[in-house]
Amino acid sequence: MGSMFRSEEVALVQLFLPTSAAYTCVSQLGELGLVEFRDLNASVSAFQRRFVGDVRRCEELEKTFTFLQEEVWRAGLALHPPEGRLLAPPPRDLLRIQEETDRLARELRDVRGNQQSLRAQLHQLQLHSAVLGRGHRLPLAATPTDGLLERTPLLQPPGGPHQDLRVNFVAGAVEPAKAAALERLLWRACRGFLIASFRETEQPLEDPVTGEPATWMTFLISYWGEQIGQKIRKITDCFHCHVFPFVEQEDGRLGTLQQLQQQSQELQEVLGETERFLSQVLGRVQRLLPPWRVQIHKMKAVYLVLNQCSVSATHKCLIAEGWCAASDLPALQQVLQDSSSEAGVSAVVHRIPCRDMPPTLIRTNRFTASFQGIVDAYGVGRYQEVNPAPYTIITFPFLFAVMFGDVGHGLLMFLFALAMVLAENRPAVKTAQNEIWRTFFGGRYLLLLMGLFSVYTGFIYNECFSRATTIFPSGWSVAAMATQSGWSDAFLAEHPLLTLDPAVSGVFLGPYPFGIDPVWSLAVNHLSFLNSFKMKMSVILGVTHMTFGVVLGVFNHVHFGQWHRLLLETLPELTFLLGLFGYLVFLVVYKWLFIAAAAPAPSILIHFINMFLFSRSPTNPLLFPGQEVVQSALVVVALAAVPVLLLGTPLFLRWQHRRRSPRPAGRQLDEDKSGILDSSDASVAGWGSDEEKAGCPGDQEEAEFVLSEVLMHQAIHTIEFCLGCISNTASYLRLWALSLAHAQLSEVLWAMVMREGLRMGRELGVAAVVLVPIFAAFAVLTVAILLVMEGLSAFLHALRLHWVEFQNKFYLGSGYKLSPFTFAEEED
Amino acid sequence: MLEGAEFYFNVDHGYLEGLVRGCKASLLTQQDYINLVQCETLEDVKIHLQTTDYGNFLANQTNPLTVSKIDTEMRKKLCREFEYFRNHSLEPLSTFFTYMTCSYMIDNVILLMNGALQKKSVKEILVKCHPLGRFTEMEAVNIAETPSDLFNAVLVETALAPFFQDCMSENTLDELNIELLRNKLYKSYLEAFYKFCKNHGDVTAEIMCPILEFEADRRAFIITLNSFGTELSKDDRETLYPTCGKLYPEGLRLLAQAEDFEQMRRVADHYGVYKPLFEAVGDGSGGKTLEDVFYEREVQMNVLAFNRQFHYGVFYAYTKLKEQEMRNIVWIAECISQRHRTKINSYIPIV
């Protein structure tokens, strides 16, 4: 948990990897995920790097893998992810894997090719028989054509020269989509010197390539003349038709048909054999491919990292640079030693000083991960900046619960989250792919706390599904009021509303021990009482939250050694915030504690407005003696803090700059020396400096000091803070609004659904029957509207309060995450 | 068409325009060209192209890689994009797309007829056909013996049919006639396209008309240049010039009389647009060829087309730019594979 407070120390390290052991070292580092490598060859293009050949070979292999995978998928088989941990294979294994893969791919291609050609043959045969089969039914189907053909020779003898004129046939099959175009083209090109008949095949045939069933159009063209025949053949060629010899005699056709059927039977047997062999090969692929894929993927990743290393002058080792957490350095050293022990020369790691801002590393566990996630979604913290996440663990669920206060709803949410937490180790829950479910599951601990806190605030508000509970006896006694005031029957009949007077002895026995007195749920001024309470509560919570934010800034200033900001920024900020809004909180609390219920109540609002106007209203009694003097003093002090905030830091920096500038060379030397001697100190001091904030990161000393830039920046900050104090305080009123909305909505749901149902049946049987659907409706609406919808909106507002109102007081969030080189996520 | 395309353009064509602008942004940059030129082998070219928007388009090619494989795959990629645009387009943009494909169709038809004349097999030539100009009846082109045959039997149903009206003749199709046919077809195609854009009005006309005018004039110049020393008569030559360019009518008349490059240059001198182009042409060995100069000018116009919104010209411009890019890559790849590095830098930069 110590590391949650601010990000861990991250060091720039240089790794000297002996050439022979570099591969094993990097692959070991990939398994552990310790180092984020920096690209030392950014100026070198991808194909001029050292290991480009190996990367290319891996890619080559992956190409083959893709081919194998597609084949497996095409056969309708699935590839299962490999079990267990697979290390990146040693480089010499690449050859073996490559060979085996190539052999498998070749076999598969051969078998697939055989299968394809067999299928194509079969398809051809089937089409042929479809064409012929259709043809021999032609005499029945198309008698007129047939009749004409038979009659032609009878008519011809008179015209002797035409004796040799005979009808020729072209028969074939074409894809149905092209049939119409083919028919038209035939007609146009041959000017009608032909008769063509088209018909669809009865059974769909399997397409040899895709394997999908498709119907074909068979056609039979009869024509006269050789030239036309040539044209027809060219046209059928261009439409990719299958053309088959067509025997004119019917018995000849029958014979061919039988022959075809026999052939196709034989072919089918061969095809079956081929497919069996194919499935064997595919089975082998299925078994071998997944582990190979993972291995080669890792190998490629390792080579890509090696490509980022530079080569030492002697070519004996590779030099890599990267970010590594300081606490991981011993582990890193150990890994490097272990994995380079074979090579004889040990790999070495050492820290080097650097001026760049290191990446942010905050280790989380499954509990803190979701809270850190909330903070990171706003912005990853700068290196070693105070991390708001640990406080968010409590404040976030609490602010949520303030808006969601209801014992019943909170309990439901808590139980739901508890179920997820208890089931978190079940594989089915873990691997669920549903995105909405994963969102909920990821935030299960957040939900757990949110539910728990809602139960707490529900008790404070005394609401359980909008009903009040009487755990303790109420502090108000109606009986006492009735006996003391002597209400007559007539008085009671005339006045539907009666007032309980706390001044009457015995009516108000003292405050309710915990939360809101249940008697309020019966009162008609319930809402105005709660409004006043919740509004004040929101302001108190808001001012406290923001003050806490400002105080957290102190830790940043102290850590980065910017003591002047402590005095010139944090102090005026606190003065401004507490002098104005802290005083408001004081007034609220004072009024609660010391103004008796019976006395005329002073209005805090009027007092607060008068405070700024330096005036007083005679009708509004003072809360305490000397209030006006205190108020005036506070306003003056708070306003005096503004110029300090505005000008303090820029003027201080200018003074500091002036003091330094006469001897820049000497300082430069100092700086360098200290950088080498104690890199961590020098680097830490660097990142918080204001010059960087003013827009010149990196070379902080050399950067010329531009007063206007710093002034501008500080002016923006000042305006943002002062206006922010007002608007952010107002913004916290959303706590009041949302909790009110939630209470009212659940009240309405109870009154309109449940109460109606309970009122409906007086007899036991009717009530039981009616209440089933009524309760179902109540339950569904409660979950859908009150839990999910209201929960989401309360979540959203709590998120906003944290991101905008809280974090802008101290959190910059301009860093970037440490993303170490690791195989973990590449595996899936 | 109503004025003010911006009010309704996006309803029908907004998606595609967004898409094509995205595609244009993925054209290779100057830095990419610099890297490509440094490549040692075609494999390097492939690796470099992988880092660009071409992605893994060569991943499934078997070794060894050749220039023609790269070219084919690039064409396929362009064709896929174009088909996507076309399938998602509405009228009148789809007609515009049809017009765009027509030029490729003309080229393919002519290519096939030439092939038939030289008794080459259809399959062999089909590979060379541009995929954008493919159509079903294409392969039946070789059954025709005269242009009217060609029209009546094969092309009457295609988008090319309207352009045939001027070139119906009973001449047999020999090499010269085919070339004449191509130019006549192209002339009427350009004129029809020009008319379509003109009638469409709006920004489309403002962008497309200058581009097509330039295209027409370029053809006129090229026809003139190619006809020097052939048996083509001057009158015949004049009938081939597309009449929708800036040169029409006086320039074309002068051009028809030109007898050598010098005279052609003198014609161009009368036109402010073409004078600098002819001045940029180097003489003999050193400088750029006329073709290159024209290409550069075309690229320039097409790039400028992207400065206006709500018009169809971007689709035309994108296709042309992509084609130029493909020509560049092929040029570089050829230079690399033939180890002829001295001329590798004379690609046409797209800026």
| CA distance linking residue B116 with residue B125, whole number of Å | 9
Write out the residue range of the structural domain in which residue B250 sits.
9-336
| CA distance linking residue A260 with residue A276, whole number of Å | 24
Better pLDDT: B279 or A590: A590
Residue in A with minimal Cα distance to B45: A47
User: Phi/psi zone of residue B105: left (φ > 0), alpha (ψ -120 to 50 degrees), beta?
Assistant: alpha
What is the predicted pLDDT for the residue at B99? 92
Q: Is position B3 within any domain?
A: no
Nearest to B39 among A47, A178, A184 (CB): A47
Overall average pLDDT of the B31-47 stretch: 86
Q: Is position B95 within any domain?
A: yes
**Long-range contacts for A517-520 (Cβ within 8 Å, ≥24 apart)?**
A517/A462, A517/A474, A517/A475, A517/A476, A518/A462, A518/A468, A518/A469, A518/A470, A518/A474, A519/A474, A519/A475, A519/A476, A520/A462, A520/A468
Most confidently modeled range among A185-194, A500-509, B220-229: B220-229
Q: Single out the residue of A791, A730, A185 nearest to residue A453, CA to CA.
A: A791
Residues on chain B touching A52 (C-beta within 8 angstroms): 47
CA distance to partner chain A, nearest, from residue B330 (Å): 19
Overall average pLDDT of the A445-449 stretch: 93
Q: pLDDT tier at A136 (50, 70, 90 boundaries)?
A: very low
Nearest to A235 among B47, B143, B157 (CB): B143
Which residues touch A668 (CB under 8 Å, ≥6 apart)? A701
Residue type, A318: L
Helices (H), A560-626: 563-565, 571-577, 583-594, 604-613
CB-CB contact of B42 with B337 (8 Å): yes
User: Phi/psi zone of residue A216: left (φ > 0), alpha (ψ -120 to 50 degrees), beta?
Assistant: beta
Better pLDDT: A740 or A159: A740
Q: Is position B302 within any domain?
A: yes
Nearest to A238 among B38, B39, B140 (CB): B140
Q: pLDDT tier at A166 (50, 70, 90 boundaries)?
A: low
**Interface A-B: count of C-beta contacts within 8 A:** 52
Contact A184 B157 (CB under 8 A): yes
Overall average pLDDT of the A223-251 stretch: 77
Q: What is the DSSP letter of A595?
A: S
Q: Which two tokens stand for residue A184?
A: 């038209």
Chain B interface, Cβ < 8 Å to A: 35, 38-39, 43-44, 47-48, 51, 59-60, 122, 136-140, 142-143, 152-154, 156-157
Cis peptide before B349 (omega within 30 of 0): no
CB-CB contact of A339 with A15 (8 Å): no
For chain A, give the mean pLDDT. 81
Q: Which two tokens stand for residue B47?
A: 């690796």
Residue in A with minimal Cα distance to B60: A63
Of A240-254, A551-565, A745-759, B17-31, the one with minimum mean pLDDT is A240-254
Here the ipTM equals 0.70
- B interface test, pick of A185, A193, A194 with most B CB neighbours within 10 Å: A185
Which residues touch A745 (CB under 8 Å, ≥6 apart)? A785, A786, A790
Q: Single out the residue of A479, A472, A568 nearest to residue A515, CA to CA.
A: A472
Instruction: Say whether residue A46 is in contact with chain B using an 8 A CB cutoff.
Output: yes
Partnered with residue A173 across adjacent β-strands are A218, A242
Residue A143 has pLDDT above 60, yes or no: no
Instruction: Say whether residue A4 is in contact with chain B using an 8 A CB cutoff.
Output: no
Q: pLDDT tier at A298 (50, 70, 90 boundaries)?
A: confident
3-state SS, residue B215: helix
Residue type, B114: N
3-state SS, residue B93: helix
Contact B47 A47 (CB under 8 A): yes
User: Helix A444-461 crosses helix A407-422 at what angle (to 10 degrees)?
Assistant: 160
Contact A178 B39 (CB under 8 A): no
CA distance to partner chain B, nearest, from residue A179 (Å): 12
Overall average pLDDT of the A779-793 stretch: 92
Which residues touch A606 (CB under 8 Å, ≥6 apart)? A617, A620
Burial A524-553, CB ≥16 within 10 A → b, else e: eebeeebeebbbbbbbbbbbebbbebbebb
Residue A692 has pLDDT above 90, yes or no: no
3-state SS, residue A323: strand
For A600-613, the pLDDT digits (tens) are 778 888 888 888 88
Q: Is position B2 within any domain?
A: no
Residue A142 has pLDDT above 50, yes or no: no
Q: pLDDT tier at B283 (50, 70, 90 boundaries)?
A: low
Q: Is position B351 within any domain?
A: no
Residue B1 has pLDDT above 60, yes or no: no
| CA distance linking residue A748 with residue A335, whole number of Å | 64
Instruction: Say whether residue A44 is in contact with chain B using an 8 A CB cutoff.
Output: no
Better pLDDT: A450 or A623: A450
Instruction: Say whether residue A180 is in contact with chain B using an 8 A CB cutoff.
Output: no
What is the predicted pLDDT for the residue at A278? 87
CA distance to partner chain B, nearest, from residue A182 (Å): 9
Residue in B with minimal Cα distance to A62: B59
Cis peptide before B64 (omega within 30 of 0): yes
Residue in B with minimal Cα distance to A236: B140
Of A64-68, A74-78, A158-162, the one with minimum mean pLDDT is A158-162
- B interface test, pick of A43, A45, A231 with most B CB neighbours within 10 Å: A45
Residue A588 has pLDDT above 70, yes or no: yes
Most confidently modeled range among A554-563, B48-57, B139-148: A554-563
Residue type, A447: L
For B290-306, the pLDDT digits (tens) are 888 899 899 999 999 99
Q: DSSP assignment of B151-193, as one string? A: IIIIITTSTTGGGGGGG-------HHHHHHHHHHHHHHHHHHH
Overall average pLDDT of the A240-255 stretch: 78
CA distances for A813 relative to A360, A376, A384, A386, B317, angstroms:
10, 8, 11, 10, 44
Q: Is position B131 within any domain?
A: yes
For A19-56, the pLDDT digits (tens) are 878 888 888 888 888 888 888 887 777 667 788 888 88
Contact B139 A45 (CB under 8 A): no
Residues on chain B touching A184 (C-beta within 8 angstroms): 157
Q: Which two tokens stand for residue A203?
A: 């059974």
CA distances for B150 relative to B100, B145, B344, angstroms:
22, 7, 42
CA distance to partner chain B, nearest, from residue A191 (Å): 9
For A453-466, the pLDDT digits (tens) are 999 999 999 889 88
φ, ψ dihedrals at A14, nearest 5°: -115, 130
Overall average pLDDT of the A320-326 stretch: 87
Instruction: Report how many domains make up chain B.
Output: 1
CB-CB contact of A402 with A456 (8 Å): no
CA distances for A558 relative to A67, A129, A570, angstroms:
60, 92, 11
Radius of gyration of chain B (CA): 21
Helices (H), A201-249: 226-238
Residue A666 has pLDDT above 50, yes or no: no
| CA distance linking residue A265 with residue A153, whole number of Å | 40
- B interface test, pick of A47, A182, A190, A241 with most B CB neighbours within 10 Å: A47
Q: pLDDT tier at B161 (50, 70, 90 boundaries)?
A: confident
- A interface test, pick of B52, B136, B158, B336 with most A CB neighbours within 10 Å: B136
pTM of the entire predicted model: 0.67
Better pLDDT: A480 or A377: A377
CA B295 to chain centroid, in Å, comes to: 10
What is the predicted pLDDT for the residue at B197? 92
For A616-639, the pLDDT digits (tens) are 888 888 888 888 889 999 999 999
φ, ψ dihedrals at A35, nearest 5°: -120, 140
CB-CB contact of A307 with A50 (8 Å): yes
Polymer length in residues for chain A? 828
Q: Is position B349 within any domain?
A: no
What is the predicted pLDDT for the residue at A487? 75
Q: Is position B45 within any domain?
A: yes
